Amino acid sequence: MYNEDIRLAIDVGSSKVCSAVIRRDNFNEPEILAINILPSESIHDGEVMNRSEATAAVRASVSEVSNQCSLAFNKAYVGFGGKHVSSYAGWGKVTGFDFATGITEEDIVEAVRLAASERVEPTDHLLYATPTAYRVDSDTEFRKPPVGMHPDSLEVQALLVVSDMAHYRTVFDAVTSAGVEPIHGGSTLVAESEYLLSQYERDAGVVLIDIGGSDTEIAVYNHGRAVLFTSLPIGGFHFTNDIAYAYELPYENAEAVKLAAGTLVGDALGIDDEIDPTSLSGSERVLDVERSLTRVSVSNLLKERAEETMKMYRSRITQVDGLPDADFLTVVFTGGGAKLNGITTFAKLSMGLRGRVEVRKPTNIKSLPEDVSDPAMSGAICMALRALDRIDRDNHVERKPITVVHSTEPDEPEPVAVGASSGVGARLRSLLGRR
């Protein structure tokens, strides 16, 4: 029988809109039904520059995935990122524990709720909250929940991930105007952290770097806890813009040059070869090129920008208190900017990293071919996966397809939808599941 628990996730990024449609198949495995990524000139430097154009971009993206899977959608989860998303810590305190049970998970959830209510500003919208430290009787600190203890008081430190309220409403308005009801807004970086990083990496210390169009988002985990979600005002746009400025090329052609010929590693084969921008994909606007382009000149230009960028990354990471030696951290890149050839090797050398450095994208998902999966799609795919795993059954399909069954065999029983998991995380998610 057709599984009606189908979700749509829309990632409104700094320079693109990506939509993904997901469901669980009859074996209870996540299955991508449709996905696309469309550039959007209405979103620049993390700002929605033109509401009508942003609406048109969202409508076009949703229309494309609707055509791919022959379904219409009236609801969606919306992913947020870029400079409008930030994090800070807050403390919440609870007292008066039941003598029989001591501290319970409900007490921890209440402390996190109090931390959020006291710390989150009216100009911010809370996207995600998670406990990061515990203190009993204003003295002893714990890294794990002190459930069952009988102190006089419990203080919980929570990491609070928020979006600027004005941006949050602007994006929601653009999605609504496109004919889709945004029923939940979440951080794409939080979702990527859950599905691109292993538990071992989060325990040992790991940095996730999502290089978007105009911004780079950074998540830092240590001892299994999220300790920082932040962004820096530099992304793939700046690399492309350097090429466009230096060689007087339209932006689209500079992007084609960057992806086809740009590299951050040493002497590649044919590095002295000249590049003809008119022969690259999407080069219709190039009529004449005054300056000679070679792979070595483009590579040197990109390396200069990358050197500056990696210094900014390392500087921000080393500001986090309590991290082990930054040289030994695992660093994971994702996002559209991570497709630049040689970025992991260059990062390892320029940042002095001795740990593992990788580019990652969602993998091992049914109906998601490797040639379709792309680091730029990580936000939308991971947001869809998180919604499927963490939020109760919620079909987003407006009209169900009509299927004529010609068999006399009884219908196959419909799979049971997977609901939210139990524990502190589930209760926190229930608090954050509504906009």
Q: Is residue 211 part of a domain?
A: no
User: Do 157 and 179 belong together in one domain?
Assistant: no
- Identify the domain boundary among 359, 375, 407: 359
Q: Is residue 1 part of a domain?
A: no
User: Residue 299 CB: number of other CB atoms within 10 A?
Assistant: 22
User: Do 251 and 327 belong together in one domain?
Assistant: yes
Please name the residue that has the structure tokens 């000679």.
Answer: 292
Q: Is residue 192 part of a domain?
A: yes
The one-letter amino acid at 39: P
- Identify the domain boundary among 359, 385, 405: 359
- The whole-number pLDDT of residue 21 equals 93
Q: Is residue 204 part of a domain?
A: no
| CATH code of residue 174 | 3.30.420.40
Residue 401 has pLDDT above 80, yes or no: no
> Strand, helix or coil at 410?
coil
User: Do 271 and 238 belong together in one domain?
Assistant: yes
The dihedral built from the CA positions of residue 428, 131, 113 and 189, taken in this order, carries a sign that is: negative
Residue 399 has pLDDT above 90, yes or no: no
Q: Is residue 383 part of a domain?
A: yes
User: Do 178 and 55 belong together in one domain?
Assistant: yes
Range 114-135 average pLDDT: 93
pLDDT tens digit sequence for 22-60: 998 888 888 999 999 887 765 555 555 567 788 888 999
Give the residue numbers spanning the domain of 271. 216-359
The answer to whether 20 touches 9, Cβ cutoff 8 Å, is yes
Alpha-carbon distance of 381 to 379, in angstroms, equals 6
How confident is residue 124, by pLDDT bands cut at 50, 70 and 90?
Answer: very high
pLDDT tens digit sequence for 234-243: 999 999 999 9
Q: Is residue 207 part of a domain?
A: no
User: Do 158 and 171 belong together in one domain?
Assistant: no
User: Do 261 and 340 belong together in one domain?
Assistant: yes
Q: Which of 259, 202, 238 is nearest to 310 (CA)?
A: 238
User: Do 270 and 335 belong together in one domain?
Assistant: yes
Give the Å distances, CA to CA, from 265 to 16, 268, 274, 358: 27, 7, 18, 15
Residue 287 has pLDDT above 80, yes or no: no
Number of domains composing the chain: 3
User: Do 141 and 252 belong together in one domain?
Assistant: no
In sequence order, the 6+-apart residues with CB closer than 8 A to the CB of 151 are 97, 103, 136, 137
| CATH code of residue 121 | 3.30.1490.110
How confident is residue 158, by pLDDT bands cut at 50, 70 and 90?
Answer: very high
User: Do 179 and 76 belong together in one domain?
Assistant: yes
How confident is residue 199, by pLDDT bands cut at 50, 70 and 90?
Answer: very high
How confident is residue 275, by pLDDT bands cut at 50, 70 and 90?
Answer: confident
- Identify the domain boundary among 310, 327, 359: 359
User: Do 63 and 187 belong together in one domain?
Assistant: yes
Q: Is residue 135 part of a domain?
A: yes
Q: Is residue 206 part of a domain?
A: no
User: Do 70 and 139 belong together in one domain?
Assistant: no
- The whole-number pLDDT of residue 363 equals 79
User: Do 276 and 325 belong together in one domain?
Assistant: yes
Greatest mean pLDDT among 24-38, 263-277, 340-354 lies in 340-354
